[in-house]
Amino acid sequence: MSHIIQNNAFLQGPLQRVIEIYEQQVVPRLTTKNKTIGITTAVVMTLVYLIRDRVFKPPRNLRHIPYQGYYDFIKSIYTKETYWDRAHRWTLPFIDSKSSNGLYMRPGRFGYEVHVVNPEAAKKVFLKQDLFPKLDVLKGKERTLNAKFANGPNLVFLNGPHWKTQRMVANPAFHRAQPIQLFGKLTQDLFERMDRLGETADVHDLMERFTLEAIGRAGFGFEFNAIKEDNSPWVHTYNTVNAALQNPWYFLFPSLDQSLLWLSPKRQAAHRELDRFMDMLSEVIKKKRRDIASGVENKHLPDNEKDVLTLLIENEDKGEGALSDEELRSNLHILFLAGHDTTSNALSFALLYLAKYPKIQERAREEILGIMGDEPSEIVPGFDDLKQMDYLNQIIKETLRVNGPVVQVVPRVALEDTELAGTFIPKGSNVIVDVFNIQHSKKVWENPDEFDPDRFDPKSAPKQLSGGAMSWVPFGSGARQCIGMNFSLNEQRVLLSMMLRKYTWSLPEDSVHYGKIETRGLGIISPAKCHLQFKKRYQ
């Protein structure tokens, strides 16, 4: 089964033409009345290319595990069903049933994949990395946009001794690089931008600009001018690449990004933008080596702080290990994705929830004013201040539980026959810890869809039903836990605390979020149409 999906034997040139004709010619002409017919027709056209027993169904040695079929999965993609809606329509009703042990399968980029929504089984996957190493997701996909962006050996995709060597080199750098004052200065710059925008602002755009500038300056001492300039060329370049990376069709069907790339000029342009982005990072690394050699320091950080790239390069001179330029560039790409895109979405969701629930917002503000004071000035919190922000931390944790940007971890592969939750998992099976559904299962959490920061208050009655530490895994767990977790959490604490002192904010009357929070995205989710109204508490 796996080799069929990986080689995309079923994906021929005509399928790509069908997809493009359907999206460009059929969809615009569909009326509300006949949309259902049009969608069904599109799904059927796709399934014509999937008609074979080995594609429709999982491998025979996995058919004892319940699965979501290809028809339902492809229909979900065509209709642009959100991850939230798909989970609540199909996955969670099954997972929360009495008969389920928290395992299910669905089609993915590498064939049928075993999804783990059982915290105890997830613990085994996370902690037994020798049994469940990460799948080589780039093999055979080298010329796709996703593979080019990952760009070789890095902490996310490596396994074994090579990964351990990189982690040993990178750990000290990421633990030392906590530029609190820089986060505060960039928040002040963000306030100046907000002053120019008026009362209503696109929060997602603001957070993308803020986190892009933060990772540029704190990561490797580079100014994107993302906050101050409306049309920063690097903002345009990165956003173009990032949007292209989220396209589900190219992610699920790599042939569209390889042998069939000539069919899409827009996709070719995205590849050129990525080439430009990669060249820029190569120049940044070269310049950083020259600056270190000549004693030039990162002007954006205090004398006792250094950016991540500087710390990684300096490890070479200290005998703590060395990374090649290819490894440095590859890890900087991942740092961009982990330190920019996911954090910007987490902040957008947090601001959105605080707008949706004004009592929670006011309680958080009272805590921050008690810690930082209520003087009409833009005070940057210090490390000691951040440690006291108990309720704000609960809000951040609850945001990452209800709508964490990362819905699942990188696929693992079982190196030998084993079992999860009492179910036989044959050697070679692709296994994924399903973060979103663990954090929304009624077997794990009380009222899981409710936004309730008090569920993380250690003094209150527990609202977690099972799973222990493995019930909250937005950063993964075990030795492969996200290395930038503390960087991201501190960035969120600084910005949110300063926002609470400076503004009150609410949902506009035409907001789509008065019911449930509306989301978008496939592998990384973000809020849709994230506009909020802000009022200053002081000038």
Contact indicator for 474, 435 with CB cutoff of 8 Å = yes
Structure tokens belonging to residue 339: 């330190």
User: Which helix or strand (DSSP H or E) is residue 527 part of?
Assistant: strand 526-527
Q: For 332-400, give the DSSP string.
A: HHHHHIIIIIHHHHHHHHHHHHHHH-HHHHHHHHHHHHHHH---SS-PPP-HHHHHT-HHHHHHHHHHH
Question: End-to-end alpha-carbon separation of the chain, Å?
Answer: 63
Sign of dihedral through CA atoms 23, 109, 74, 117? negative
Number of H helices, E strands in the chain: 23, 11
Burial class of residue 243 (count of CB atoms within 10 Å of its CB; 0-12, 13-18, 19+): exposed
- Residue 530 marked ligand-binding: no
d(CA 121, CA 77): 28
Return the residue matching tokens 């330190």.
Answer: 339
**Is 144 within 8 Å of 418 (Cβ atoms)?**
no
For 234, 245, 258, 487, the CA distances from 281, given in Å and listed in that order, are 11, 18, 24, 21
Indicate the annotated binding residues for heme: 482
Indicate the annotated binding residues: 482
